[in-house]
């Protein structure tokens, strides 16, 4: 079995280890929740202060020009592009993932209405992230489509002549299971459907190749693995061949071809720029760039390929140590073992019992010890509660994994998770 000394040796040999210094992490904390909210880059506070005190406070409205505020959505999009396999000027950073999903789903359904009006089904996984399903449900009701939800293994059988759009999250937020983007996209196209991908749990965590996979549309958030800060604006990508076929439904002035001409009629901007909507939130938008600096530093150390290799090594180690040292406590594994099917997280299951699974309390006990993960309730397909741990290779090391599992073992062996203080539910789990 891997020892603490083995983990320390792996850290000493890790070429990505210097990247940890780019993040401000609290002392005595092992942060395994970067798949929910990434850690703060060391330059973020100074950048926010500069935007507020200098660009806004001193230069005022001139900063739209002098500080480059106006072009920031496009410039940030071009910095994200290499992480998602996009080309130049195909990605913008704007709005939220939910709003961006509404835009691209509407565009995709409009394309379907034009090309194959008889197709009236929007297909997704039942275990997809809820906001995606909520947006799709509302849009289907307003446009007269049917939202069909299936289990992952049923997707292939549902690709038929009724399908207009397939909407999937690349890496499942609950289990960490990852789709083969190229294969799924090819199968959907063969059935005559378009595909919308949500990259919220894969951008910055696993290599993504939207152009290589021949994807149609993609959205994703910047506050998870991209470390853009809480509530950071999201990103949106459109296949170049689709970009100018339709207006997106939120045709605000920022997506106008000439926003400062102030004409009464709407003329969409060229390409992906028409997917902008209103005036951008410049403080939070500016912080996205701080998170991207770490990926640009990683490029000299092997880029996403090196980050992926370390991510798989970290998650392999975590799984092996949990199974060796936490036996007899009813834990299972929801995350696929196969590398090709796994994102950058590990989800442990806990059987539901009449008094509850205890999974939530176990996570709270770990947090009290400085090991930060999170809890997700069982869904209709899994029927088990989940202890979820995200592994961000930019700042997580192998010794962190060893200590995290040791804390988990102690929490389970001692039964301290049964204490009342760990069983009080918070608003955010």
Query: What is the CATH architecture assignment of 70-297?
Result: 3-Layer(aba) Sandwich (3.40)
Question: How many Å apart are CA 173 and CA 220, to the nearest integer?
Answer: 12
The pLDDT of residue 427: 83
Tokens representing 419 are 């204490």
The yes-or-no verdict on residue 214 having pLDDT over 70 is yes
> In this structure, what token pair is assigned to residue 210?
């939207």
Nearest to 232 by CA among 169, 296, 294, 283: 283
Which pTM value belongs to this model? Answer: 0.95
pLDDT at 380 over 60: no
Question: Cα 126 to chain center, whole Å?
Answer: 18
What mean pLDDT do residues 307-334 have? 96
> Is residue 290 pLDDT above 60, yes or no?
yes
Instruction: Point out the least confidently predicted range of 10-19, 329-338, 349-358, 398-407.
Output: 349-358
Average pLDDT over residues 164-179: 97
Task: Indicate if the pLDDT at residue 100 is higher than 90.
Answer: yes
Residues designated catalytic: 129, 198, 223-224, 388
- Percent of the chain topping pLDDT 70: 98
Smallest CA-to-CA distance from 288 within 131, 69, 134 is with: 69
Q: At what angle do helices 398-414 and 359-368 cross, to 10 degrees?
A: 120
Closest CA relative to residue 314, chosen from 399, 376, 372: 399
Q: Check pLDDT > 60 for residue 381.
A: no
How far from 46 is each of 166, 232, 294, CA to CA, in Å?
42, 17, 16
What are the extents of the domains in the chain?
Answer: 4-42+303-419, 70-297
pLDDT, tens digit (0-9, with 9 covering 90-100), for 181-191: 999 999 999 99
Per-residue pLDDT at 425 = 86
Examine the pLDDT at 361 and tell me if it is beyond 80: yes
Across the chain, mean pLDDT equals 95
Closest CA to 322 of 349, 340, 341, 344: 349
CB 148 within 8 A of CB 158: yes
Contacts (Cβ under 8 Å, ≥6 apart) of 343: 170, 171, 172, 176, 177, 178, 201, 202, 205, 206, 335
What pLDDT is attached to residue 60?
97
The answer regarding whether domain 4-42+303-419 maps to CATH 3.90.1150.10 reads: yes
Per-residue pLDDT at 331 exceeds 90: yes
Which distant-in-sequence residues (6+ apart) come within 8 Å of 206 by Cβ? 170, 171, 178, 304, 308, 311, 343, 344
Q: What is the pLDDT of residue 353?
A: 66
- pLDDT at site 244: 92
Q: How far is CA 428 from CA 46, 117, 172, 387, 404, in A?
A: 28, 42, 19, 14, 22
């Amino acid at each position: 079995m891997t020892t603490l000394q083995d983990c320390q040796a792996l850290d000493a040999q890790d070429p990505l280890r210097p990247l940890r210094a780019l993040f401000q992490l609290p002392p005595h904390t092992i942060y395994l929740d970067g798949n929910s909210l990434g850690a703060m880059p060391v330059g973020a506070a100074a950048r926010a202060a500069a935007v507020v005190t200098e660009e806004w406070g001193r230069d005022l409205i001139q900063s739209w020009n002098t500080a480059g505020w106006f072009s920031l959505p496009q410039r940030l999009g071009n910095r994200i592009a290499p992480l998602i396999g996009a080309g130049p000027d195909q990605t913008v950073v704007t709005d939220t993932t939910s709003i961006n999903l509404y835009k691209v789903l509407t565009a995709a359904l409009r394309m379907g209405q034009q090309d194959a009006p008889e197709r009236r089904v929007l297909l997704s996984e039942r275990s997809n992230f809820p906001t995606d399903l909520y947006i799709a449900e509302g849009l289907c009701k307003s446009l007269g489509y049917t939202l069909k939800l299936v289990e992952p293994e049923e997707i292939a059988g549902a690709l038929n002549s009724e399908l207009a759009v397939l909407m999937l999250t690349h890496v499942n937020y609950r289990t960490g299971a990852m789709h083969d983007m190229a294969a799924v996209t090819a199968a959907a196209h063969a059935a005559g459907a378009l595909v919308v991908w949500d990259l919220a749990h894969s951008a910055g965590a696993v290599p993504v190749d939207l152009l290589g996979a021949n994807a149609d549309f993609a959205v994703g958030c910047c506050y998870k693995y991209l470390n853009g800060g809480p509530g950071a604006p999201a990103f949106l990508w459109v296949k170049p061949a689709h970009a100018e076929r339709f207006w997106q439904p939120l045709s605000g002035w920022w997506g106008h071809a000439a926003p400062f001409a102030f004409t009464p009629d709407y003329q969409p901007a060229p390409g992906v720029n028409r997917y902008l909507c209103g005036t951008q939130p410049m403080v939070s938008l500016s912080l996205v760039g701080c998170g991207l600096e770490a990926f640009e530093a990683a490029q000299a150390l092997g880029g996403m390929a090196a980050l992926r290799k370390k991510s798989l090594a970290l998650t392999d180690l975590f799984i092996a140590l949990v199974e060796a040292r936490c036996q007899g406590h009813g834990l299972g594994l929801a995350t696929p073992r196969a590398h090709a099917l796994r994102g950058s997280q590990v989800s442990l299951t806990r059987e539901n019992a009449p008094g509850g699974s205890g999974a939530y309390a176990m996570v709270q006990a770990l947090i009290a010890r400085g090991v930060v993960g999170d809890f997700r309730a069982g869904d209709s397909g899994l029927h088990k509660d989940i202890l979820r741990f995200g592994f961000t290779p930019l700042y997580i090391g192998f010794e962190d994994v060893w200590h995290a599992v040791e804390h988990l073992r102690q929490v389970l062996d001692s039964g301290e998770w049964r204490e009342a203080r760990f069983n009080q539910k918070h608003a955010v789990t």
